[in-house]
Amino acid sequence: MKAPLIITSLLLFVFVSCSRDDSVQVANRINEGSWKITYYYDKDHDETADYSGLTFDFNDDGSVTATNSSSSYQGTWSTGNDDSSDKLYLTFGNPDLLMEISDDWIILDQSSSKIELKDDSDSGTELLTFEKI
C-alpha cells in the first residue's frame, strides 16, 4: 500500500517541478545582439508604429538601452517565474512611450530571433513582440 503512494507522490513531485523554463532561455538569448519591436498591441489597438525607430540592447548586467536617431534611454530587465508563468520584467523610467511597455510580461514563445510576450490586466490584454535585428 505504501509503494503506490510513494510512486504517486514522486510522480506528482516530478510533474510539478518540471518547467519549460523559457525565462532562462530568454535570458541567455536576449543579450545577444540588438532587438526591435515588431508588434505592440495595447488593450484595444495596434501601437507598433510608435516604436518603429527604436533599437533595444539588453546587457548582461540587467540594464537595457533603447536608442533612436536622437536619444538613448536606460532601463532594466530581468527574467523569472511568477504565478507559474515564465516572465520578462522590463522597466523604464522615461519617456512615457517606454514606460508604457514597462511590465512583467508573460513569455508566450521564444526563439533565437523572436520573443513573443503577453500581459493581462483588468483593463485588457497587451501583446509585445521583439525580433532580433
Report the topology of domain 20-132.
Lipocalin (2.40.128)
Instruction: Give residue-wise pLDDT tens across range 73-129.
Output: 999 999 999 888 999 999 999 999 999 999 999 999 999 999 999 999 888 999 999
Domain boundaries, the chain: 20-132
Cα angle vertex 97, ends 30, 48, to 5°?
70
Do 48 and 132 touch, CB atoms closer than 8 A?
no
In which band, very low, low, confident or very high, does the pLDDT at 16 lie, cut at 50, 70 and 90? very low
What was the pLDDT predicted at 132? 98
